Amino acid sequence: MTLAALVRHLPTMFVLLFVAGCGGEVESRYGEPVRPGSASAPGERVYTAYHSIEVVAVTMPSYAANEEIYVKSTSGAISPLGPLWTDLPERAVTLQLARDLRTVTGALAAPEPWPFVEPADARVDVRIEEFLAVPTGSFRMSGQFFVAPEVEGRNRSGQFSIDAPLTGDGGPAEIARARSRAVSKLAVEIARNGLR
């Protein structure tokens, strides 16, 4: 390599040496965005009298609010698997829930803060108590939901416990797909039992 070529590639070599010197492994992150028509997108349609729905930021237990993917052992211990979610679970679930409620009901749905001038017809508040892969070979999401109409309609609440089966190797990519399916099932359940 000539001196001119070496000087030309010097910045790239410094970056590579810096990255190599940082040590540690590259973090693996997993997530499954729902796209219309994908296998995990909700296919069911549910009528709602509400034209617009605001989804309040989902709350979770402290372990589930972290970036780490958690699993429950047969002894009942909850521990991080190692890989990370692509986004903070509270944010990711809130966004997916708004997207899925739009798909399921056909209503205008958005996460808080409400981005439109006119207030939403109803607010959906989800409080998750369990959010992890369990030894039965599924991803479990359980908790409560609350629906509060802005003007007309009845306040509603319900409990949910959703197990989305893990397929394949049951690794982090499959856990992410199962999590997405669980959120889609929750959207259908809220539409059926809270938004009619």
pLDDT in tens, 18-49: 444 444 565 788 887 656 655 556 788 999 99
pLDDT in tens, 79-100: 999 899 999 999 999 999 999 9
Q: Got the DSSP string for the chain?
A: --HHHHHHHHHHHHHHHHHHHH-SPPPPEE-----TTSTTS-------S-SEEEEPPPB--HHHHSSEEEEE-TTS-EEEEEEEESS-HHHHHHHHHHHHHHHHH-SEEEESSP-SSSPPSEEEEEEEEEEEEETTTEEEEEEEEEEEESSSS--EEEEEEEEEE--TT--HHHHHHHHHHHHHHHHHHHHHHH--
Q: Is the pTM of this model over 0.75?
A: yes
CB 104 within 8 A of CB 117: no
Q: What domains appear along the chain, each with residue ranges and CATH number?
A: 3-194 (3.40.50.10610)
